[in-house]
């Protein structure tokens, strides 16, 4: 799962990237020189894995991971740079909008002053423009092909027209419902506004719980609510403090968070939220060799989940032995879970739930 940070230049993306990944990428104001993207894989914090590791004392502990990517920011009117940014973002599974909410006269704001709601609109518009452009190019291409005697596939033409109509209303494609025919017809096109999005507002420490931050959150929630029944509430965080926290030893980090009056770090909230946004859950495998979390889409059947581990497990699937994490922790061992009837035998179509501890039986 790849999450790309997107934002106007100087919104603090690289600072947040460092906070999320513990890296030390340069955060100086971008001076127009060619830079390489920052990329890092981070572990998804999961207390269940920590607990299970205490029980099984495995040789290896493996958390689920997400990959963060950070590159150039959008600027006002630099079409070439903005085009590069969008091309980069197309590699992602989801976007994280970084909206600047901190005042600092030494850090220039390409759009004038601090206004995360306007910046949110700017990012949304940028995606719409690129997608609209893609629909137009595609339609033109189909017309030209038709003139040369190769009529377009009717499903693609109508699907692209439907996208165009949506975009012209100012609605991102992520809010549009596609039927199976449309999905198939559009499969070869990458529409950037169809990616899931979450937003973070990067504020000064003193604004972590301020009225102005709540007002920003509410305004963005209201905007996204125009097109969906499931509006988003941006996360308010302080990129600078997150970066400092990421550099501290664990215990000191906890102290720091307590001083800030927050119980979990923004890093943890962001990772959890991105999981939810993408409809992802984890199932767990346990043993003396390894305790591990595996990422799957919510709604995945047991047999497909087995295939995450190895194709042999999917091919030769016999059954899954399942106990929920909570049931397991309640009794403390697999033997006790079995004795109490908490260990269930499930077939290949069983829908795996978040936190299921699974042992797959298979034969090839
Ligand atoms: N005062 C203050 N400054 C910040 C904060 N977050 C980032 N900055 C500063 O803002 C400048 C830009 O931060 P970056 O993290 O490089 O921002 P960016 O969005 O990656 O910028 P570009 O990649 O150049 O577009 C740096 O000088 C940071 O130190 C913050 O919360 N408060
Ligand atoms: Mg940067």
Q: Is 93 helix (H, G, I), strand (E, B) or coil?
A: coil
Angle ∠(346,349,350) on CA atoms, nearest 5: 45
Please, is 304 exposed, middle or buried when counting C-beta atoms within 10 Å of its C-beta (0-12, 13-18, 19+)? middle
In a domain, 89, yes or no: yes
Ligand 2: distance of its center to the CA of 301 in Å?
40
Rounded to an integer, what distance in angstroms lies between the CA atom of residue 170 and that of residue 224?
A: 11
Residue 16: its pLDDT value, please?
Answer: 93
In a domain, 122, yes or no: yes
Tokens, residue 185: 């017809």
Say what percent of the chain tops pLDDT 90. 74
In this predicted structure, the answer to whether residue 191 has a pLDDT above a threshold of 60 is yes
338 and 216 co-located in one domain: no
* Alpha helices (H) in the chain, listed in sequence order: 13-21, 47-56, 79-89, 116-147, 154-168, 180-186, 211-224, 239-247, 250-260, 266-277, 302-309, 311-315, 325-331, 334-339
For 129-173, what is each residue's pLDDT tens digit?
999 999 999 999 999 999 998 888 889 999 999 999 999 999 999
Ligand 1 atom nearest to CA at 241 = 31
Residue 336: its pLDDT value, please?
Answer: 96
In a domain, 28, yes or no: yes
Question: In angstroms, how far is the first alpha carbon of the chain from the final one?
Answer: 30
Angle ∠(3,84,89) on CA atoms, nearest 5: 15
Q: How far is CA 260 from CA 118, 234, 269, in A?
A: 28, 19, 15
104 and 227 co-located in one domain: yes
Residue where the block lists tokens 């179509």: 349
Q: Is the CB of 9 under 6 A from ligand 1?
A: yes
In this predicted structure, the answer to whether residue 267 has a pLDDT above a threshold of 90 is no
For 47-103, what is each residue's pLDDT tens digit?
999 999 999 999 999 999 999 999 989 888 788 888 888 999 999 999 999 999 999
Considering the chain, what is the average pLDDT of its residues? 92
204 and 320 co-located in one domain: no
4 and 79 co-located in one domain: yes
Which of 102-116, 122-136, 254-268 is least confident? 254-268
Residue 28: its pLDDT value, please?
Answer: 64
- Would you list the DSSP string of 21-51? H------SPP-S---PPEEEEEE---HHHHH
Angle ∠(220,171,159) on CA atoms, nearest 5: 155
202 against 75, higher pLDDT: 202
364 against 28, higher pLDDT: 364
Instruction: Specify the residue with its C-alpha closest to ligand 1, atom 9.
Output: 12
Residue 257: its pLDDT value, please?
Answer: 84
Q: What is the dihedral of CA 239, 243, 249, 253, to 10 degrees?
A: -10
Q: What is the CATH number of the domain that holds 332?
A: 3.10.20.30
Residue 255: its pLDDT value, please?
Answer: 87
User: Which of the four pLDDT bands, split at 50, 70 and 90, describes residue 247?
Assistant: confident
Residue 268: its pLDDT value, please?
Answer: 85
Tokens, residue 101: 């909410």
Ligand 1 atom nearest to CA at 205 = 31
Rounded to an integer, what distance in angstroms lies between the CA atom of residue 214 and that of residue 212?
A: 5
Residue where the block lists tokens 């038709």: 146
Residue 25: its pLDDT value, please?
Answer: 85
Q: Is the CB of 10 under 6 A from ligand 1?
A: yes
| Domain closes at, from 249, 278, 307 | 278
244 and 305 co-located in one domain: no
Rounded to an integer, what distance in angstroms lies between the CA atom of residue 190 and that of residue 340?
A: 50
Judge contact between 256 and 245, C-beta under 8 A: yes
234 and 318 co-located in one domain: no
Q: Is 134 helix (H, G, I), strand (E, B) or coil?
A: helix
User: Which of the four pLDDT bands, split at 50, 70 and 90, describes residue 321?
Assistant: very high
In this predicted structure, the answer to whether residue 34 has a pLDDT above a threshold of 60 is no
In a domain, 53, yes or no: no
Instruction: Specify the residue with its C-alpha closest to ligand 1, atom 21.
Output: 10
Ligand 1 atom nearest to CA at 11 = 19
The domain in which residue 322 lies consists of: 299-362
118 and 188 co-located in one domain: yes
Say what percent of the chain tops pLDDT 70. 98
For 55-69, what is each residue's pLDDT tens digit?
999 999 999 999 999
């Amino acid at each position: 799962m790849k999450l790309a940070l997107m934002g106007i230049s100087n919104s603090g993306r690289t600072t947040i990237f460092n906070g999320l990944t513990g890296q030390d990428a340069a955060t100086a104001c971008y001076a127009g020189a060619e830079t390489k993207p920052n990329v890092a894989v981070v572990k998804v914090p999961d207390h269940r894995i920590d607990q299970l590791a205490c029980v099984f004392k495995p040789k290896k502990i493996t958390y689920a991971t997400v990959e963060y990517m950070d590159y150039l920011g959008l600027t006002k009117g630099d079409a070439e740079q903005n085009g590069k940014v969008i091309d980069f973002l197309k590699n992602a599974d989801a976007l994280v909008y970084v909206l600047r909410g901190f005042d600092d006269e030494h850090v220039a704001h390409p759009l004038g002053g601090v206004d995360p709601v306007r910046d949110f609109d700017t990012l949304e518009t940028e995606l719409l423009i690129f997608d609209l452009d893609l629909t137009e190019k595609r339609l033109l291409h189909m017309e030209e092909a038709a003139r040369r005697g190769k009529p377009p596939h009717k499903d693609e033409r109508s699907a692209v027209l439907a996208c165009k109509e949506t975009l012209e209303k100012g609605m991102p494609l992520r809010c549009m419902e596609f039927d199976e025919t449309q999905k198939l017809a559009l499969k070869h096109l990458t529409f950037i506004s169809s990616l899931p999005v979450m937003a973070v507002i990067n504020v000064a420490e003193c604004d972590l719980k301020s009225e102005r931050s709540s007002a920003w959150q509410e305004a963005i929630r209201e905007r996204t609510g125009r097109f969906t029944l499931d509006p988003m509430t941006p996360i308010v965080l302080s990129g600078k403090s997150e970066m400092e926290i990421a550099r501290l030893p664990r215990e000191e980090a906890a102290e720091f968070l307590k001083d800030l009056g927050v119980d979990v770090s923004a890093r943890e909230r962001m990772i959890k939220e991105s999981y939810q946004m993408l409809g992802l859950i984890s199932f767990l495998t346990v043993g003396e060799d390894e305790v591990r979390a595996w990422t799957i889409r919510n709604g995945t059947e047991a047999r497909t989940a087995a295939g995450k581990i190895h194709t042999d497990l999917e091919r030769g699937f016999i059954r899954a032995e399942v106990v929920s994490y909570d049931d397991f922790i309640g009794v403390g061992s697999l033997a006790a879970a079995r004795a109490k009837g908490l260990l269930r035998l499930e077939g290949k179509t069983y829908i795996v739930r978040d936190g299921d501890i699974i042992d797959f039986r298979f034969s090839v």
